[in-house]
Amino acid sequence: MSAAVLGARAPTDGVLVSVASPERVVRACASVGLDRACLTPEERGRMLRLVRQEDRSTYLAAHLLARFVTGLRTGLRPTDLCYKQCCPECRGRDHGAPWIESFSGRRFEVSVSHTAGLVAAVAGHAWIDVEAVASCAGPMAGALTNADEDEALRRPDPALARARCWTIKESLVKQGVLGLDDACRWSAGPLDGDLVRISCGAHTRCCAFLRTPPGYAGAISLSSPTPTDIEELNL
């Protein structure tokens, strides 16, 4: 996607999500002037503490993509946006729930996720998770209900179905609707179609599966029980 096309794109009131490899993200962001020089000191410090170069590249791509999709959703220049975090417990500014902030101080909701070989970000009232199917068998142990397992076994690819259940729950944890200890008590529901409505106690949320490359699963959870406009940006 070229800078000219991006400049002609109209802002949206819905949510804008993008999923791509770190390499594709970095190339797309470079077309609008986004690169590692745009990182805040906190971001640079966190990135440099990562040992593996692959992890640094993935971290960079995810944080640039957060600016990229927020700029497209709002009509603001991505280079005028900062990625911010603040931990509510220790007040540290290199971790915690993120948001995007403009130079003028306006704040915008954003959620990011990354796994080996894939990064994702969503701008708007939504929370995102992506996982490599092969790598999430361990974390999923004990997090899926019997109903989740039965639903997975009905599918042609049970491993993918389990990963999709996990991404729904992880996105709800990020939203604050589920706690980590709650994931094993609530079922992700039937996996028919692209949308799932899940009830977690007093909360009902609509979740949507993402188009991901083979070997990956991804989902976003919305802030309401009804679907909203979801636009997927193909880089």
Range of the domain at 152: 128-227
Residue 235 lies in a domain: no
Residue 169 lies in a domain: yes
Does 58 lie in the same domain as 11? yes
Does 165 lie in the same domain as 85? no
pLDDT at 149: 87
| 14 secondary structure, DSSP code | S
Domain boundary pick from 67, 93, 124:
124
Residue 232 lies in a domain: no
pLDDT at 5: 40
pLDDT at 141: 65
Does 93 lie in the same domain as 62? yes
pLDDT at 56: 96
- Averaged over successive runs of 10 residues, the pLDDT of the chain (235 residues) comes to 44 84 96 95 93 96 97 93 81 75 91 96 95 80 82 90 90 83 74 75 84 95 82 91
Domain boundary pick from 67, 100, 124:
124
Rounded-to-10 torsion of CA 91, 97, 98, 103: -40
Does 155 lie in the same domain as 134? yes
CATH number of the domain where residue 187 is located:
3.90.470
Question: Global pTM?
Answer: 0.89
pLDDT at 203: 75
Does 174 lie in the same domain as 61? no
Does 193 lie in the same domain as 158? yes
pLDDT at 18: 96
Buried b (16+ CB within 10 A) or exposed e, 39-56: bbebbeebbeeeeeeeeb
Residue 186 lies in a domain: yes
Does 188 lie in the same domain as 86? no
Measured in degrees and rounded to the nearest 5, phi and psi for residue 79 equal -70, -10
Q: Which two tokens stand for residue 176?
A: 């604050």
Does 190 lie in the same domain as 96? no
Question: Please, which residues have CB within 8 angstroms of residue 36's CB and are 6 or more apart in sequence?
Answer: 44, 47, 60
Domain boundary pick from 96, 124, 152:
124
- Which pairing describes strands 230-233 and 15-20: parallel, antiparallel, or unpaired? parallel
Residue 233 lies in a domain: no
Does 109 lie in the same domain as 167? no
Does 181 lie in the same domain as 105? no
| 11 secondary structure, DSSP code | P
Domain count of the fold of the chain:
2
